Amino acid sequence: MARFGEHYSYQPFDQVKIPRPPRKVIATFSNFQIQQLLNVIDSSAADGYRDYTIILTLLDTGLRVSELCSLSLSNLWLQDGMLKVLGKGNKERLIPIGKHIQRLLWRYINRYRSESAMPNSDLLFLTMDGRPLTKDRIDKIMAYYGSKAGLAGVRCSPHTLRHTAAVSFLRNGGDVFSLQRMLGHASLEMTRRYCELADIDVKKVHMTASPVDNLAPKQQRMWRGRS
């Protein structure tokens, strides 16, 4: 109700709730597209091996590209299969890495990584002249390989690798709380969106995990006898 002396004109749209904008489907790479991408990289060259390692590290960890750029040798524990990153809000988190990534990183560091051109810097991924790799540079590297591989229907970017890592983690049996910690999400809201995408495989899972199909054979024979 309006206060004394105030004039209030009722508008019919005052009670209308503005609908939320539709959520866009998060695009991810298929396994075939990832293989296409990797196949066009010349991993026998120093820069190619670095790029190959970067792409698979992003895919294995779900790191933001800014986090990957700031990775340092001192925060990488290859024998333990762990790395430490500084995420949003200056929050540190530990992320496990798989055995294949451990081997790739060891070889990159010992055979292909350039000497740092900056004193007192131990950044992990460097340009061929020892400078820090930037987010824009990695974006361009990804776009170049995506174009070379002829990928269509998906944006070839580090962010797409992050989405793909999240969905693959869930499809391969990972739980949502571990994924939240791995991605550095402050809440489960964003992480749940990956759950929705991972449910694309629910029919495939149901074929082997159907509650009714997995009942005792004796019970199933009784049903067949009644049909």
Catalytic residues: 64, 88, 159, 162, 185, 194
Query: By the 8 A CB rule, do 125 and 98 touch?
Result: no
The CA-atom distances, in angstroms, between 3 and each of 6, 7, 8, 11 are: 5, 8, 9, 17
> Following DSSP, what letter does each residue of 57-111 receive, concatenated?
HHHHH---HHHHHT-BGGGEETTTTEEEEE-GGG-EEEEE--HHHHHHHHHIIII
3-state secondary structure of 16: coil
